[in-house]
Amino acid sequence: MSVNQPIKKVTTHVLHAMKQRGEKISMLTAYDYSMARILDAAGIDILLVGDSASNVMAGHETTLPITLDQMIYHAQSVVRAVVRSFVVVDLPFGSYQGNSKMALESTIRIMKETGGHAVKMEGGKEITDSIVRVLSAGVPVMGHLGLTPQSIYKFGTYSVRAKEDVEAQKLLEDAKHLEELGCFAIVLEKIPAQLAKQVTESVSIPVIGIGAGPNVDGQVLVSHDMLGITKDFHPRFLRRYLNLYDLIKDATERYIADVKTADFPNDQEQY
Ligand code: KIV
């Protein structure tokens, strides 16, 4: 593919080629049709139907409560909107850790019922069997290392991971292991930038960072954070491009005022 030709559809091959030629990969979360349509039209490379839907869509404190059925509902809505982006769907907590058969069954449901293009799982060596079994069914797998929110009760906090040598070494080994198993990409969440750079240089598959500094192959953010729909979340790594919370609140206040004063609807806004 020539560098100047627009990409018609993003695939794992396209993403791999982007890493090879040093073109950064853009990724955002999406959970519904209307938002996915806008993000896809803007040219986002990967849309992640993240289990962060548990937080930003359902209002849960953690990602643990969201179910496979709920993830499938979100993914179906996103896939209906997408023309160009590559759609990755998170396997939710409890849908793949039990054993590899469970991982495969959950993945098959996602692939058959949503039309998504790949799944993401959190963890390294400890989920080897599940990754191998899903890959053997021909489904691309994205890994996720560093801060893995499904393990929040093990970590105790959402603070930066792998600051100490032992954990950093394990993360580096896990990343190489995920590549050897055949994962097509890895998300690195909230780890020191220097370690993310080392991982990115040590594997040939794309590494997408969130709070992992600039020396990775691409960046991902939760779209509700990037657009400023969420208000009380201010991690250092987050860049907000809009303040939608205030814009929507202001528009809603003006609508309420117009209704209360009978200014809306006017003569042109009726039949
Ligand atoms: O669920 C999610 O939004 C994620 C991203 C933070 C990578 O896993």
Q: Which of 74, 145, 186, 187 to mutate to test the pocket of ligand 1 (most atoms within 8 A of CB)?
A: 187
Q: Are residues 181 and 266 in the same domain?
A: no
List the domain range (segments joined by +) for residue 190.
12-240
SS3 200: helix
Within 6 A (CB) of ligand 1 lie 29, 48, 50-52, 90, 187, 189, 210, 220, 222
Q: What distance in angstroms lies between residue 225's CA and the mean position of ligand 1's atoms?
A: 11
pTM of the model: 0.96
Q: Are residues 168 and 249 in the same domain?
A: no
Q: How far apart are CA 172 and CA 162, in angstroms?
A: 10
Q: E strand or H helix at 196, and its extent?
A: helix 193-202
Q: How far apart are CA 103 and CA 108, in angstroms?
A: 9
Domain count, the chain: 2
Q: How far apart are CA 121 and CA 134, in angstroms?
A: 10
Tell me if 46 is assigned to some domain: yes
From the number of C-beta atoms within 10 Å of its C-beta (0-12, 13-18, 19+), residue 144 rates as buried
pLDDT in tens, 35-55: 999 999 999 999 999 999 999
Total Cβ atoms within 10 A of residue 12: 16
Q: Are residues 209 and 257 in the same domain?
A: no
Task: Write down the catalytic residue from 189, 201, 253, 269.
Answer: 189
pLDDT at 3: 55
Q: Residue 209 sits in a domain of what CATH number?
A: 3.20.20.60
pLDDT in tens, 205-236: 999 999 999 999 999 999 999 999 999 999 99
Q: What distance in angstroms lies between residue 202's CA and the mean position of ligand 1's atoms?
A: 23
Is residue 175 scored above 60 in pLDDT? yes
Tell me if 164 is assigned to some domain: yes
Q: Are residues 27 and 154 in the same domain?
A: yes
Tell me if 166 is assigned to some domain: yes
Q: E strand or H helix at 11, and its extent?
A: none
The residue among 258 and 3 whose pLDDT is bigger is 258
Tell me if 1 is assigned to some domain: no
pLDDT at 4: 61
**Bridge partners for 189 per DSSP:** 146, 210
Q: Are residues 271 and 193 in the same domain?
A: no
Q: Are residues 138 and 251 in the same domain?
A: no
Distance of CA 143 to the CA centre of its chain: 11
Instruction: Write the residue with the smallest CA distance to atom 8 of ligand 1.
Output: 50
Q: Are residues 150 and 265 in the same domain?
A: no
Tell me if 4 is assigned to some domain: no
Q: Are residues 69 and 54 in the same domain?
A: yes
Tell me if 101 is assigned to some domain: yes
Q: Are residues 71 and 88 in the same domain?
A: yes
Tell me if 224 is assigned to some domain: yes
Residue 126 bears catalytic tag: no
Q: pLDDT-derived band of residue 197, with 50, 70 and 90 as boundaries? A: very high
Instruction: Write the residue with the smallest CA distance to atom 2 of ligand 1.
Output: 50
Q: Are residues 229 and 251 in the same domain?
A: no
Q: Are residues 188 and 249 in the same domain?
A: no
Q: What distance in angstroms lies between residue 220's CA and the mean position of ligand 1's atoms?
A: 8
Q: Are residues 155 and 269 in the same domain?
A: no
Tell me if 235 is assigned to some domain: yes
Q: Contact, 116 vs 75, CB < 8 A?
A: yes
